[in-house]
Amino acid sequence: MKVQELGHIVLYVRNVERSARFYRDVLGWRQILPHEKDGMAFPAAAFSAPSGRTHHELLLIEVGNDAAPVPHGPRIGMYHFGLKIGDSDDDLREALGQLEEAGATVVGASDHTVTHSLYIEDPDGNEIELYVDVPGVDWVAHPELLASPIRPLRL
């Protein structure tokens, strides 16, 4: 077997409407389900990136307000997922302004040599990396750059 690409991510959320607003209105995902005429068998929402690369890239499933929160600190399971949002630090600065305006929780900013990244949390505490590839860095020819020390990023 050979994995061809990452297809989609599924997240459990407390309130699917609240989370759908965040992923749709703050991060700009295109919501594809549910449609007004479609009845879902369970509370969920599906999204596709604006590129339309595949049928869906994100699925949110509502588990209710009594669900255990995402624990902070080292733990087993997903740490974060990354979303490329542009091609320059200007794109990151613009995103930071939009995130601050929307009241999103920004938890960090890092220079990874190959990428510059903002880290945010969704309404349920799932961490998301919003990044741009650093122009001129040839990580294909120099994969060791992926292990470069992480430095603070100042936008």
List, in order of start, the domains of the chain with CATH numbers: 9-62 (3.10.180.10), 80-152 (3.10.180.10)
Cα 113 off chain centre by? 20
> What are the tens digits of pLDDT across the range 31-58?
998 865 566 678 899 999 888 888 899 9
Q: pTM value?
A: 0.91
Distance of CA 67 to the CA centre of its chain: 21
* pLDDT digits 0-9 by tens, 51-97: 888 889 999 999 999 999 888 888 899 999 999 999 999 999 999 99
Distance CA 113, CA 85 (A): 17
